[in-house]
C-alpha cells in the first residue's frame, strides 16, 4: 500500500521555466511533509518542508504548496536550472507511533534542458 504517491515518473522542462512536481498521500495522520533531491549514487538531500498548519512554504527558488483537503502537495521550482536535474522525492510523517516514521514516494526524475 503506497501511502505517498508520485504518479509521474519523470518531468522535462526548459531552463528558466517553472517545474511543478506533484505528490499525493492517503494517510490522514500525516501532518509533516518534505521534499528531497537525489543525485545518482548519493544520499538524498533535504530541500524544503511544510507542516499541515500551513499551506505554503517558500525558500528561495523552491516553494511547497499543501492542499490538505485534497491530500496533495506540490513543489515549484522557479526558475528551473540545469543543476536542478535530479530525482525528487516527496516524504511524509505523522506525530505518533507507526506514523512517525518517514514514508517516501517513488520519486520523479526532473530534467532541465539548457
Partner 1 sequence: SQTIHQWPATLVQPVGSPLSLECTVEGTSNPNLYWYRQAAGRGLQLLFYSVGIGQISSEVPQNLSASRPQDRQFILSSKKLLLSDSSFYLCAWTGGVHTEAFFGQGTRLTVV
Residue number, 14 or 45, with CB nearest to partner 1: 45
**Going residue by residue from 71 to 100, which x/- string records binding to partner 1, judged by CB under 8 A?**
------------------x-x-xxxx-x-x
> Which position among 26, 51, 67, 81 is part of the footprint of partner 1 (CB under 8 A)?
51
53 forms part of the interface with partner 1 (CB under 8 A): no
What is the C-alpha separation between 7 and 105, in angstroms, rounded? 9
6 forms part of the interface with partner 1 (CB under 8 A): yes
Given its phi and psi angles, is residue 60 left (phi above 0), alpha (psi -120 to 50 degrees) or beta? left
1 forms part of the interface with partner 1 (CB under 8 A): no
Residue 78 makes CB contacts below 8 A (sequence gap 6+) with: 18, 19, 61, 63
The C-alpha cell 498548519 sits at 53
Interface residue list for partner 1 (CB under 8 A) = 6, 9, 31-32, 34, 41-46, 49, 51, 89, 91, 93-96, 98, 100-107
Amino acid at each position: 500500500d503506497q501511502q505517498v504517491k508520485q504518479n509521474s515518473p519523470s518531468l522535462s522542462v526548459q531552463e528558466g521555466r517553472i517545474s511543478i512536481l506533484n505528490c499525493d498521500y492517503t494517510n490522514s495522520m500525516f501532518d509533516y511533509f518534505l521534499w528531497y533531491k537525489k543525485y545518482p549514487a548519493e544520499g538524498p538531500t533535504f530541500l524544503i518542508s511544510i507542516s499541515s498548519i500551513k499551506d505554503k512554504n517558500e525558500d528561495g527558488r523552491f516553494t511547497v504548496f499543501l492542499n490538505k483537503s485534497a491530500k496533495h502537495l506540490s513543489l515549484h521550482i522557479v526558475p528551473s536550472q540545469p543543476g536542478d536535474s535530479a530525482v525528487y522525492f516527496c516524504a511524509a510523517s505523522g506525530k505518533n507511533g507507526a506514523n512517525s516514521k518517514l514514508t517516501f514516494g517513488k520519486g520523479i526524475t526532473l530534467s532541465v534542458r539548457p
